Structure 1
Amino acid sequence: MASNKLLTHLNLIRPCSETPLILDCFVVINDDTFGSITPARPDGDYDEVIDCRGRYALPGQINAHHHLYSTLALGMPPPAIAPADFLGILEQVWWKLDRALDTDSLRASVQSGLVESLKSGTTTIIDHHSSPEAVAGSLSLVAETAHHYGVGSAVAIELSDRNGSDCFNKCLEETITTREKYSKNNNIATLLGLHASFTLGDRSLQTISETLALDDSMGIHLHLSEDAADERDAQSRGYPSVLQRLHHFDLLNTRSLLVHGVNCPQADTELMQQLGTMLIHNPTSNANNRIGMLDRERAITLNAGLGTDGIQSNMLKEAKEGTLIRSASINPGEPSLDYLTLLFEHNPTIASRIFNRPLGRVEPGYRADLAIYDYLPRTEITPENLGSHLLFGFPQPSEVYTSGELRVREGQMTQLDEQQIKADALIQSNRLWKQLL
């Protein structure tokens, strides 16, 4: 049922816009989209009027690369022998985890990950999924749970040869089925997921290319050159680089979501720019895995977005930690990277392209996703110093709206039983971990 709301006396922060700070404004929400934003109360009748009492608000944030399936990895016992390299981390940690997932543990992981996202102000997630032993229905589980919770989701399940041809075919079928199932839902998008070039043979890439050719509105979502081993593998197969290998199979277009790109040769930046692909930077994960840091000029040239790679769900924290990680690696006076631009300018552009609707900004016509903060600044907030307050001052949001509906009130879920969700996650995580020993 359509409804309209009026938010009054809101201090609206819109980073990377012409008016980044609008004090004491009035915001109209028409059903699931933003209406007018005005300095005085607009005329008209409203189903609900909410006095925001001078609190600060941000657009609902977008996580441009997440792994909801890994939420239950928090505190997971480490391997008996520490991995010696990135491939060892994959083999001894993440590939063991994804193979151990079943429907129950996957559901618990997705549910708890979505709760953490909403409570941190993340309202849209571009997810990259893997559960080789529970493929059938897994993307629907992610998409429908996110939709029920009010979170926009772009889903993909990784295609890989590491689990055999039968699993590859099941994942491809799951992708096609899911895309058809949710084709009319503008809060759910489906991408063609690939794990990475080095776990896919040429025959599989050709199959993916043929699938992609049947739907020119679909893009791929894969890990690109996260580690130097990915580049060495491509070269051993006779290709100059991973990107050139993907391009050889006609897998790259303006809807391609390429994640990491840390170890690409410099020439690949120009090719990505020519093809109009989208690059996603995950600084905290890159630091955690010790695989290097994305080149600043590449990030700027390609308008890179910001993701978490499953390591967390709070995008302001990711922006802060990315800022600090980079600062620790450069000299005084050397230019850094503006992570708030990645989050508040590039991520909305990326998500709007994938979902084919305006997302990630508080402007008329955009989906009404909003995070409101109980923040009492100890220094004046101005358009010039917004970044400092956002990175080093802002707490968790007190209220979160998605599609115009209140999902979080005073830091608590309004429509979900978080205690029950977390209790089930405890049971499922313990069961999951036992399978890894």
Structure 2
Amino acid sequence: MSTLLIRNARSIVTMDGENRVIRNGDMYIEGQEIIAIGENLPYETADRVIDATHKIVYPGLINTHHHLYQTLTRNIPLAQDCSLFDWLLTLYEIWRHLEPEDVYLSAMTGLGELLKSGCTTSSDHFYVFPNGVSEYLIDEEIRAASELGIRFFPTRGSMSLGRSNGGLPPDEVTQTESVILRDTQRVIEKYHKADRFSMLRVGVAPCSPFSVSRDLLKESSALARSYGVRMHTHLAETMDEEQFCLERLGVRPLEYMEQTGWVGDDVWYAHGIWFNDSEIHKMGACGCGVAHCPSSNMKLSSGAIPIRKLLDAGVKVGLGVDGSASNDASNMLWDLRMAYLLHKHELQERGLTTNETLSIATRGSARVLGWESSIGSLEIGKAADLFMLDSRKLGFAGALFDDSALPLTVGATQADMTIVGGRVVVENGMLVGVDEEKLAFRTQLAADRLVNSASLRLGIDYRKYRRI
């Protein structure tokens, strides 16, 4: 078992139950586990000793919602100024050309960006399986996560309700329910590991009320609970979704979830903007979680999550970046600051404090993913998942009065070092063992191919707002 000693940190922001900040702190790690944390620890040797002088150590940030494949379709001109439904209709035409290598490269890039921004655990919601392409696309992002060394929580998504049956997505990116359920079972059995320091857990994640059938929702919830895995879907993201549910299903989105088995302490929803007060209290009482995606919600003009009502009602809330096509980045530090500022603007004196915001991205996200016993804070017995900022950077000059608030108030966007389970995966701001320039080149080539394929097939130049 390898050992790691972090010495002389300027401070260790633990985010434990007492929100301790340890000055001139040390941390001793065996394998993945934190064995000791404090000042002047009596450990003289370790396989590796990191001199953390001038460094501020934080718990790794935890991303509760993403669509990694969208890394290949960010900054698409035709999708820049759309609301959610129009944005989806535009991008479905590109995503239908996804191939296995595209999924791998997009995951390498998106997860790499997350690691560089202090994220040590990420979920992902993969639901696009184009007809005639491998069913094993989610396996490609699992491969990427393993190579990079990030703690990963992929969810096997699905779309079964195509346009011919009254859904939003084209039929060409949907699957039959039997195929979906069979492959979901395969992914759980092959990859899910429930142990405390697992690097890979799996969830079940039909895409949304407007892209899957009632039967699939019911059967997916039954399947997930038979294996004891968590459940995830989009909900209450826009008023368009609410109107769709009322017109087509006769109920509001959360009531539809209740009818199909999608309410409980093993469920978390992405976005959760348009819940009413009674729904919020119901979610708090039954233990549902919500992934808050501030940048995406602002870009798509979806609205602002009622964060204070959710927290006051006991709803579990975590932070998410959402897909890069509605965010343009996979940067948790960026979204940490966005969340802080958004709710200062929306709620004024009732906005989030810096500590509340950092807690949402660490302990809150861990609770949403059902992983709070292992991650979310720096404490003895928990995983050594952390990132460091160098206090000597010019951007921090004049701001070194509250180390715990620094990522939110000054707006750091990149970690100097990221460690996952005791393994250094980002050092001096660069991914360990990855040729970033080569990866960027290959990823852009893949993105070009996708956009060109869609442009030629439809006769629409996705780059220049005109027909070709």
Q: Normalising to structure 2: TM-score of the pair?
A: 0.85
Output one character per residue of 1:76-102: Cα deviation in whole Å (capped at 9) or x when no partner. 2325x964x431111112x22332211
Pair 1:114 & 2:107 matched: no
Cα distance in 2 between the residues matched to 1:128 and 1:340: 23
- The residue aligned with 1:190 is 202
Report if aligned partners of 2:399, 2:406 keep a CA contact under 8 Å in 1. Answer: no
What stretches of structure 1 of length at least 5 have no aligned partner?
Answer: none
Cα distance in 1 between the residues matched to 2:391 and 2:442: 32
What stretches of structure 2 of length at least 5 have no aligned partner?
Answer: 163-169, 456-468
- The residue aligned with 2:405 is 387
Report if aligned partners of 2:16, 2:379 keep a CA contact under 8 Å in 1. Answer: no
Identity value in percent = 22
Output one character per residue of 1:356-402: Cα deviation in whole Å (capped at 9) or x when no partner. 7511221112111121111234346455x732554315352111111
Pair 1:320 & 2:337 matched: yes
Distance 1:202 1:167, change over 3 A: closer
- The residue aligned with 2:28 is 28
Pair 1:275 & 2:294 matched: no
Cα distance in 1 between the residues matched to 2:177 and 2:86: 22
SS in 2 for 1:158: strand
Distance apart, 1:74 and its partner CA: 2.5
Report if aligned partners of 1:219, 1:253 keep a CA contact under 8 Å in 2. Answer: no
- The residue aligned with 1:370 is 386
Cα distance in 2 between the residues matched to 1:13 and 1:190: 29
Distance apart, 1:319 and its partner CA: 1.7
SS in 2 for 1:46: coil
Cα distance in 2 between the residues matched to 1:97 and 1:58: 38
SS in 1 for 2:158: coil
Cα distance in 2 between the residues matched to 1:392 and 1:263: 31
- The residue aligned with 1:228 is 239
1:214 to 195, 204, 226: 226
Distance apart, 1:417 and its partner CA: 1.8
Output one character per residue of 1:118-158: Cα deviation in whole Å (capped at 9) or x when no partner. 11111110111133214521222212220221111111132
Output one character per residue of 1:41-94: Cα deviation in whole Å (capped at 9) or x when no partner. 324542222211231111111111111111112232325x964x431111112x
SS in 2 for 1:396: coil
Pair 1:309 & 2:306 matched: no
- The residue aligned with 1:87 is 85
Distance 1:397 1:226, change over 3 A: same
SS in 1 for 2:405: helix
Q: Normalising to structure 1: TM-score of the pair?
A: 0.91
- The residue aligned with 1:200 is 212
Distance apart, 1:238 and its partner CA: 4.8
Distance apart, 1:16 and its partner CA: 6.0
1:177 to 171, 186, 192: 186
Distance apart, 1:191 and its partner CA: 0.8
Cα distance in 2 between the residues matched to 1:389 and 1:113: 20
Trace 1:349-428 onto structure 2 (pairs within 5 A): 349-351=367-369, 353=370, 355=371, 357-376=373-392, 377-379=396-398, 381-382=400-401, 386-388=404-406, 390-428=408-446
Cα distance in 1 between the residues matched to 2:413 and 2:219: 47
Report if aligned partners of 1:285, 1:308 keep a CA contact under 8 Å in 2. Answer: yes
Cα distance in 2 between the residues matched to 1:380 and 1:226: 36
Amino acid corresponding to residue 360 of structure 1 in structure 2: G
Task: Decide which moves more: 234-243 or 340-349.
Answer: 234-243
Output one character per residue of 1:184-222: Cα deviation in whole Å (capped at 9) or x when no partner. 47211111111111222223323324423533x122211
Trace 1:234-253 onto structure 2 (pairs within 5 A): 234-253=245-264
Distance apart, 1:410 and its partner CA: 1.0
Distance 1:209 1:42, change over 3 A: same
Task: Decide which moves more: 421-430 or 341-350.
Answer: 341-350
Distance apart, 1:181 and its partner CA: 0.6
Cα distance in 1 between the residues matched to 2:275 and 2:233: 14
SS in 2 for 1:192: strand
Distance 1:435 1:266, change over 3 A: farther
Cα distance in 1 between the residues matched to 2:310 and 2:189: 33
- The residue aligned with 1:139 is 138
Task: Decide which moves more: 23-32 or 262-271.
Answer: 262-271
Task: Decide which moves more: 140-149 or 254-263.
Answer: 140-149
SS in 2 for 1:304: strand
Cα distance in 2 between the residues matched to 1:61 and 1:128: 18
Cα distance in 2 between the residues matched to 1:44 and 1:235: 65
Task: Decide which moves more: 168-177 or 251-260.
Answer: 168-177
- The residue aligned with 1:58 is 58
Amino acid corresponding to residue 42 of structure 2 in structure 1: P
Report if aligned partners of 1:69, 1:130 keep a CA contact under 8 Å in 2. Answer: no
Amino acid corresponding to residue 242 of structure 1 in structure 2: P
Distance 1:132 1:23, change over 3 A: same
Amino acid corresponding to residue 431 of structure 2 in structure 1: M
User: Alpha carbon RMSD of aligned pairs, Å?
Assistant: 2.3
SS in 2 for 1:156: strand
Report if aligned partners of 2:333, 2:413 keep a CA contact under 8 Å in 1. Answer: no
Cα distance in 2 between the residues matched to 1:293 and 1:434: 35
